[in-house]
Amino acid sequence: MAQFFTLHPDNPQPRLIKQAVAILRDGGVIALPTDSSYAIACHLGDKHAQDRIRALRGVDDKHHFTLMCRDLSEIAVYARVDNQQFRLLKANTPGSYTFILEATREVPKRLQHPKRNTIGLRVPDHPITQALLVELDEPLLTMTLILPGETMPMHEADNIRDQLEHQLDLILDAGACGIEPTTVIDLSHGEPQLLRAGCGDLAPFGLD
């Protein structure tokens, strides 16, 4: 049964953040608020937890995970970024975007798109998620929390607990967050290509 932590939305309690990171490092799967909707997350190196997330979402190995990073320096470890891409990323992170980029050798093959050698990355603009990433000191492996058969992501912790308390190890509650997923933009082929319109503004990429 999932633990349930109630966190201050702007100044999350360090003790609870440390406990959440301990659960992640121990193989846990958690639900956390972001600047778009709720996401489900696990430790980057834990294949069993990754498989649990796929099962919860009802997706196969062709569905991208997203590496949630605390800043651009982490993105550069996991993705090849040229000068033009870097300028776009710098101007639009942190924010409600997921960027598809060419993966570096630091990204395990099991996390890359099976045909394209790409990975999805994002830098969230949310105090709780940022606090987790700082304490963890590495990216989180995440997916938007959309249940099988649904079209909209979950956004309230109490509803998540009602439906998923036996499938998760921890739910972080800081009040309701958004109901839109991130905007997904493919930067792996030069010019930005829109893959999914969501919470992030399209105008900075000339896609509106």
What is the structure's pLDDT at 71? 94
What is the structure's pLDDT at 193? 94
- What's the CA gap between 124 and 56, in Å, rounded? 22
DSSP 12-72: --HHHHHHHHHHHHTT--EEEE-SSSEEEEEETT-HHHHHHHHHHHT--TTSPPEEE-SSH
What is the structure's pLDDT at 176? 85
pTM to 2 decimal places: 0.92
pLDDT along the chain (208 residues), means of 10: 94 97 97 95 93 94 88 91 92 95 82 76 96 96 94 93 96 91 91 92 89
Buried-exposed string 43-75: b where 16+ CB fall within 10 A, e elsewhere: bbebeebbebbeebbeeeeeebbbbbbbeeebb
The domain that holds 169 is classified in CATH as 3.90.870.10
Please give the residue range of the domain that contains residue 78.
3-205
First to last CA, the chain: 43
What is the structure's pLDDT at 165? 94
What is the structure's pLDDT at 116? 73
Helix (H) or strand (E) segment spanning residue 184: strand 183-186
What is the structure's pLDDT at 63? 81
Is 104 buried (19+), middle (13-18) or exposed (0-12) by CB count in 10 A? middle
Cis peptide preceding 94, ω within 30 of 0: yes
What is the structure's pLDDT at 86? 92
- What's the CA gap between 71 and 12, in Å, rounded? 19
What is the structure's pLDDT at 113? 65
What is the structure's pLDDT at 115? 67
The answer to whether 13 and 182 have CB atoms below 8 angstroms apart is no
CB atoms closer than 10 angstroms to residue 204: 15
What is the structure's pLDDT at 45? 84
Q: Under DSSP, is residue 178 helix (H, G, I), strand (E, B) or coil?
A: coil
Domain count, the chain: 1
